[in-house]
Structure 1
Amino acid sequence: MNRQTILGAGGVIATEVARQLLTYTDTIRLVSRNPKAVNPTDELVQADLTDAQQTDKAVAGSDIVYLVAGLPYKTSIWQENWPKVMQNTIDACERHGAKLVFFDNVYMYGRVSGWMTEETPFNPISKKGEVRAQIARMLLDAMQAGRVTALIARSADFYGPNVPNSVTEALVFSKLRAGKTANWLVNAQVKHSITLVADAGRGTVVLGNTPDAYGQTWHLPTDRQALTGHEFIGQAAAAYGVKPNYSVLSNWMVWLGGLFNPVVGETREMLYQSDSDYLFDSSKFENRFFPATSYSEGIKQSAV
């Protein structure tokens, strides 16, 4: 039996991972506080990943575990709960001999001049980035100590069809779909890499099922021909057959919005990712496995 378990089921990436896993196994376990089946044969397990005992039970009997959990976008919650989730997952995988695949973001890199690669040092300049650096180091230390066989699959911001929580859906696709003016954060004239959800999910599963991919960090496939916000909105508008009208949300506008919407306020410390080029290099993955979907194709798929 090849049981592969998703911790943090229900999110966009977790759902895509569950779909892609059918290529490798029909014994898939989905774990969350309120799991819902993606495939007909999915096993559903309720668990709170901040609870060590519940996490241990959820991992028991697994061959490969995917940690793709998403916590509420609030710094205080991240600071309190992410280290618990990571520690509980490492401990459970060590105890049960399961391999671990951690789906990560790029917050720990901080502001980077040029391309982000797997060798980019951690230099967080945000509170959330500090948390992401902390939990990534926890896993890297456990790997180094031989406690767990694991890998890190890292993604840039992501987009795609049916991705309600993505910035591009909120600011671009939903607006254009409704015949409204699109928005972009801070600067629409700088390039910004964005990973297609389908590529992120497939790439994560391919890595998890490639034995010699473990012990490494991988950047998931992302089209190297990064677009500016102006170009991204232009292509999205063309896909809908509407005019590419947009406005740029400045720092102070986001600050003002945060006074009325706490979630908007939580994004302020991450705006440094939008004021200059944000370039994500996935050549290591693409040279080994498969190429990223082009933005032209990904935007067409997303404009539904």
Structure 2
Amino acid sequence: MSKIALFGAAGAIGHSIAAALRAQGRPYRVVGRSRQALAANFGADPLAEIVTWNPDDPDAVRTAASGVDAIVYCVGVDYSKFELHPELMRKTLDGAVAAGVPRMLLIGTVYPYGRPHTTPVREDHPREPHTFKGRMRKAQEDLLLAAHAEGRIQGTVLRLPDFYGPGVDKSFLDRAIQAATRGGAADMVGPLDKPHEFVFVPDVGPVVVRLVDTAEAYGRVWHLAGAGVTTQRELYEEIVRQSGRRPKLRVAGKTLLRLAGLFNPFMREMVEMHYLVTDPVLMDDSALQQLIGPVGKTPYPEGIRQCLQAAQATVRS
């Protein structure tokens, strides 16, 4: 079995992939800037090899990539610094090629598509990003796919929709989950009744592990869709039903996001991506399932149950 290095392992998706590798008894490498953070997250797992990197140091990148058969790239950046995405990808690609890594899988987003022309969206949908963040994500993808076309490395992209899961705080649903367990208001970004989809983070890891080991996966883009089309309001009502509490619902539209952005940099950065709530990109992942077989997707009620359970455990501790 190939050894996989997770660049950006400390995030939610990295944890999911690590869990899938652990379930198979496969050794893996976790790569990040902070050894302390990596040790806190993976130090108890004897299968995890901890390696730090400095993307600005070519030798450090090459060392972090040496001796693995594939890199799964899920490096995150601050929401206000998306210009770093192509820059970090270029540096990582150069180091991976220098180290002789055969394959790389990028965890991508729907941002490069821009506003959808069709519903659902297949992988051959035009990439026409009208936002800065979309252009940066497209540039990141282009670097990897160009390296594949040039024969420097085998590259592929797995695009995900919005996600949620136990302990995942960067989710549209997290504030409602926290309000249902800790009290306070459920702050959400609306409108809430538009179609939407979410992928449950623990479902991602097994798909990534299967995809990275599939030779036919490389040289193109794949989709992993959520567990069906829903709405944020439906999921809020599911949180209410399961928790037995109805926290006050505060919904921020684009105007309120813009006003909040005068004081909150993160809210300011969300304004340009608000179209994803009003004009959602709903994904078709039939091609992925034809390639690797049926994909397990946790139903929304069960995903909400696990999120609430994890949040309640945090309260008790």
Q: Do these two structures clear the TM 0.5 threshold for a shared fold by scoring above it?
A: yes
Partner of 2:26: 26
Q: TM-score of the superposition, structure 1-length normalised?
A: 0.92
Partner of 2:313: none
Deviation by residue 1:98-155 (Cα, 9 ceiling, x = unmatched): 3111111111111114222211211111111110011111111111222211211111
Partner of 2:315: none
Partner of 1:195: 199
SS of the residue corresponding to residue 6 of structure 1 reads: strand
SS of the residue corresponding to residue 29 of structure 1 reads: strand
SS of the residue corresponding to residue 272 of structure 2 reads: helix
Equivalents in 2 of 1:98, 1:12: separation in Å? Answer: 25
Gaps (5+ residues) in structure 1?
Answer: none
Equivalents in 2 of 1:147, 1:159: separation in Å? Answer: 35
Partner of 1:214: 218
Partner of 2:312: none
Partner of 1:205: 209
Equivalents in 2 of 1:57, 1:93: separation in Å? Answer: 9
Partner of 1:111: 115
Partner of 2:17: 17
Change (3 A) 1:7 1:188: same
Equivalents in 1 of 2:270, 2:242: separation in Å? Answer: 28
Amino acid corresponding to residue 228 of structure 1 in structure 2: T
Equivalents in 1 of 2:225, 2:203: separation in Å? Answer: 6
Equivalents in 1 of 2:87, 2:135: separation in Å? Answer: 15
Equivalents in 2 of 1:212, 1:242: separation in Å? Answer: 48
- The size of the alignment, in residue pairs, is 299
Query: Is 1:60 aligned to residue 66 of structure 2?
Result: yes
Deviation at 1:23, TM superposition (A): 4.1
SS of the residue corresponding to residue 168 of structure 2 reads: coil
SS of the residue corresponding to residue 261 of structure 2 reads: helix
Query: Is 1:246 aligned to residue 252 of structure 2?
Result: no
Query: Is 1:85 aligned to residue 88 of structure 2?
Result: yes
Query: Is 1:176 aligned to residue 186 of structure 2?
Result: no
Q: TM-score of the superposition, structure 2-length normalised?
A: 0.88
Change (3 A) 1:69 1:233: same
2:276 is aligned, of 273, 277, 298, to 273
Gaps (5+ residues) in structure 2?
Answer: 310-317
State, as a whole percentage, how many aligned pairs show the same letter: 29
Deviation at 1:56, TM superposition (A): 1.1
Query: Is 1:154 aligned to residue 159 of structure 2?
Result: yes
- Cα RMSD over matched residues? 1.9
Deviation at 1:174, TM superposition (A): 1.3
Partner of 1:284: 287
Deviation by residue 1:182-221 (Cα, 9 ceiling, x = unmatched): 2331311101111110112221122112222222311124
Equivalents in 2 of 1:176, 1:115: separation in Å? Answer: 32
Equivalents in 1 of 2:225, 2:192: separation in Å? Answer: 23
Deviation at 1:9, TM superposition (A): 1.8
Amino acid corresponding to residue 15 of structure 1 in structure 2: H
Note if contact 1:28-1:41 (Cα within 8 Å) is conserved in structure 2. Answer: yes
Note if contact 2:188-2:252 (Cα within 8 Å) is conserved in structure 1. Answer: yes
SS of the residue corresponding to residue 90 of structure 2 reads: helix
Moved more, 37-46 or 254-263: 37-46
Amino acid corresponding to residue 17 of structure 2 in structure 1: V
Change (3 A) 1:294 1:165: same
Partner of 2:314: none
Change (3 A) 1:277 1:131: closer
Note if contact 2:165-2:201 (Cα within 8 Å) is conserved in structure 1. Answer: yes
Note if contact 1:149-1:215 (Cα within 8 Å) is conserved in structure 2. Answer: yes
Deviation at 1:25, TM superposition (A): 5.2
